[in-house]
Amino acid sequence: MKPNIQHVAERAQVSKATVSRVLNDNPQVKGEIKERVLRAIEELKYRPSTIARNLATNRTNTIGLILPDITNPYFPVLARGIEDAAHRLGYTLFISNTDNDPKLEQDIIYKMVEQQVGGIVLISSTLDEQTVNDLTSLQTPIVLCDRLIENKPFDAVSIDNYKAAQEAVHYLIGQGHTRIAHLAGPKNIQSAVSRRTGYVDAMLAANLEPFVSVGTFSYESGVHQMGDLIEEYGPTAIFAANDLMALGAMHEIYRRGLRVPEDISIFGCDDIAFCAMSRPMMSTISIPAYQIGVTAVQLLDDHMKGVRSGSKNVILEHKLIHRESCNGVDQK
């Protein structure tokens, strides 16, 4: 039978309260009594019940992470940042995938709230106004990743996707490209929309005609879109809204006997690990995913500890990574 605090108390010949104080490092208890309690704990191999403690304190020291799909190579790094930061601060982490399904996402949020998580890190693109308002009534702090939000009591941490996209386009233009197409992500995902807008604006500002192909952020999508693009537009450079699509595009280019960057330059976004493993290595925008995760948890922790009550949008710095997948047109 599993020992509880009462058993320890009896063995050490003290009260439950004293045992509890020892467990919580309360300095009131010391000397021989503390020794006795520690010995009793040791002898009984007693481990306090977290759930009982949770109920008594009305806190759980848990954080929930809700994301689209851990299988998408961008997210593990983010998740790792979150887990590390959470662990460091003494929280354990719940995790759940939504596949970008708004209904499922909603259910999971409520499930986690019922689990009494102290806070939630939410990576969501599908949040509509109504849902956001519902969440507002929750007392659980929420921090959004990769998505900014205004005038709502949520923290958010992200990068400036609009600016990042513009930089990518400028980089390509700087190499002499004019026929630059964009492999866009889903229309309901904010980061995808920002990148697309950044691309379009940068093109227009340079008096170039934008050409957008909308996809799904997946490798397969990149493959198909690229095929269409070659036939319908004939670009010399591609700015893809994420690396997975960029990789798919690159694959298709080679399948057709063309080469990167000699025939077509490709620029990605995210800087997933495989960008440095592909051949040619992919030039891309590096997003500090790990740091986003860490920051998100810190914001959450602040809220949970009551350090801060307002909401805050944090924008982290991205970085343009020059590798091998882009080349000037004049070098052909």
Partner DNA sequence: TCGGTTTCAGAAACCGGTTACACAATTTTA
Partner DNA sequence: TAAAATTGTGTAACCGGTTTCTGAAACCGA
Chain residues binding its own copies by CB under 8 A are 2, 45, 47-52, 54-55, 60, 62, 65, 69-71, 73, 75-77, 79-80, 83-84, 87, 92-97, 110-116, 137, 139, 219, 247-248, 251, 254, 273-274, 277-279
User: Which one, 3 or 328, has the nearer CB to DNA?
Assistant: 3
Q: Please state the length of the chain.
A: 332
Cis check for the bond before 280: say yes or no (omega within 30 of 0): yes
Query: Using CB distances below 5 to 8 A depending on partner kind, what does residue 92 bind out of its own copies, DNA, none?
Result: its own copies
Contacts with 54 (C-beta within 8 Å, 6 or more apart), sequence order: 60, 61, 116
Q: Does 2 bind DNA (CB under 7 A)?
A: yes
CB within 8 Å of 225: residues ≥ 6 apart: 183, 213, 215, 245, 248, 249
> Measured in Å, how far apart are the chain's first and last C-alpha atoms?
77
How far is Cα 8 from Cα 15, in angstroms, rounded to an integer? 9
Q: Which of residues 47 and 279 has its CB atom nearest to DNA in the complex?
A: 47
Q: Which stretch binds DNA (CB under 7 A): 54-62, 76-84, 203-211, 227-235?
A: 54-62
Tokens at residue 212, please? 């957008």
- We find the least distance from the C-beta atom of residue 94 to DNA, in angstroms, to be 19
Nearer to DNA, 58 or 331 (CB): 58
Q: How far is the CB of 2 from DNA (least distance, A)?
A: 6
User: Taking CB under 7 A as the rule, does residue 111 contact DNA?
Assistant: no
Q: Does 28 bind DNA (CB under 7 A)?
A: yes
Q: Which residues pair with 265 in a beta bridge?
A: 237
Q: Which of 295, 250, 289, 241 is nearest to 268 (CA)?
A: 241
Positions touching DNA (CB under 7 A) are: 2, 4-6, 13-21, 23-24, 27-31, 33-34, 46, 48-49, 52-53, 55-58
